[in-house]
Amino acid sequence: MLDKQSPIPIYIQIEEQLKQQIQQGDFLVGTAIPSERELTEYFGVSRMTVRQSVTNLVNEGLLYREKGRGTFVASPKVEQPLNGLTSFTEDMLARGMTPSNKIIGFEILEPEADVAADLQLADGEKVYFIERIRFADDKTMAIERTYLPVERFPGLHRDLLQGSLYAMIENNQQLKISHATQRMEAGMVKKDDAELLQIDVPAAILMIERISYLDGDVPFELVRSTYRADRYKFTTEIKR
């Protein structure tokens, strides 16, 4: 129970108790936790205190809310190491998960100056712009917005984008992917992206911008990805 004499705030004590119950299997993945009213009565605290505790667990990715239904125990976050270069499809398959995607945009356009610079394009060169929603086991994970130089991949069409883009490039195009540089930052989701990711506003997201290169240090891809922070986390190994 709660220790009201403790210097630890009550809402944190409630968080820790709920977290412990989740970890020891009292609440299973996909099942609802007690309602705010029930938790308020059980702990003998205000509804606002309970709401703060539950919201923090939602932000941590341990719980998720569904409008009109309640708050549920979330599946463990997908953990992606940052020390390897794989596509989303390759990464999910390696975890035993089923990847899929929905293409919501595919067009040829003249790139903005920053995109052209990142891909080292000459004046007038065009790019494919590909926008996809990424799923793992039918759960929304990310939005990917990809730019590919048209001259390097002539004849590219939507049907080739259902699987791994990297596998298509290496197997169909007979090209060798070498390395990538990427930047990552946290942020808050925009309204349009929230609808695509099926999350409520406000919500935290992870943003990655990656430039990938072929052998010879030739950039071939710029991808800007927006990940659900409640379902995804990145890890890296640091050696001294």
Q: Same domain for 112 and 131? A: yes
Looking up residue 66, the CATH number of its domain turns out to be: 1.10.10.10
Is residue 44 predicted with pLDDT exceeding 90?
A: yes
The pLDDT assigned to 129 comes to 98
Q: Are 97 and 89 in contact (CB under 8 A)?
A: no
Q: Same domain for 94 and 207? A: yes
Amino acid at 233: K
The pLDDT assigned to 208 comes to 94
For the chain, give the mean pLDDT.
Answer: 91
Is residue 67 predicted with pLDDT exceeding 80?
A: no
Q: Same domain for 63 and 145? A: no
Q: Same domain for 52 and 143? A: no
Q: Are 224 and 209 in contact (CB under 8 A)?
A: yes
The pLDDT assigned to 141 comes to 92
Q: Same domain for 148 and 63? A: no
In a domain, 1, yes or no: no
Domain boundary among 31, 49, 73: 73
Q: Same domain for 50 and 110? A: no
Section 4-19 average pLDDT:
93
Half-sphere exposure of 129 (CA within 13 A, CB side): 12
In a domain, 3, yes or no: no
Q: Are 111 and 126 in contact (CB under 8 A)?
A: yes
Domain boundary among 73, 91, 124: 73
In a domain, 124, yes or no: yes
Section 124-148 average pLDDT:
95
Section 26-46 average pLDDT:
93
CA separation for the pair 112, 166 (Å, rounded): 24
In a domain, 191, yes or no: yes
CA separation for the pair 211, 209 (Å, rounded): 7
Q: Which tens digit of pLDDT belongs to each residue from 137-183?
A: 898 999 999 999 999 999 898 887 877 888 888 887 888 999 999 99
Q: What percent of the chain has pLDDT over 70?
A: 100
65: confidence class by pLDDT, cuts 50, 70, 90: confident
Looking up residue 157, the CATH number of its domain turns out to be: 3.40.1410.10
Q: Same domain for 27 and 141? A: no
In a domain, 184, yes or no: yes
Q: Same domain for 33 and 113? A: no
Chain-centre distance for alpha carbon 49: 29
Domain residue limits at 87: 78-235
In a domain, 181, yes or no: yes
Helices (H), the chain: 10-23, 36-43, 47-60, 88-94, 113-118, 165-167, 191-197
Amino acid at 116: A
- What does the angle CA 76 – CA 186 – CA 202 come to, to the nearest 5 degrees? 80
227: confidence class by pLDDT, cuts 50, 70, 90: very high
Tell me which DSSP letter residue 110 carries.
P
Q: Are 99 and 134 in contact (CB under 8 A)?
A: yes
Q: Which tens digit of pLDDT belongs to each residue from 89-107?
A: 888 888 888 999 999 999 9
CA separation for the pair 219, 180 (Å, rounded): 9
Q: Are 118 and 224 in contact (CB under 8 A)?
A: no
The pLDDT assigned to 97 comes to 85
26: confidence class by pLDDT, cuts 50, 70, 90: very high
Q: Are 74 and 18 in contact (CB under 8 A)?
A: no
In a domain, 169, yes or no: yes
Q: Which tens digit of pLDDT belongs to each residue from 185-205?
A: 999 999 999 999 998 888 889
Q: Same domain for 56 and 99? A: no
Amino acid at 183: R
Is residue 86 predicted with pLDDT exceeding 90?
A: no
Q: Please count the structural domains in the chain.
A: 2
Q: Same domain for 197 and 89? A: yes
Q: Same domain for 99 and 163? A: yes
Structure tokens at 187: 């942020």
In a domain, 2, yes or no: no
Per DSSP, the three-state class of 231 is: coil
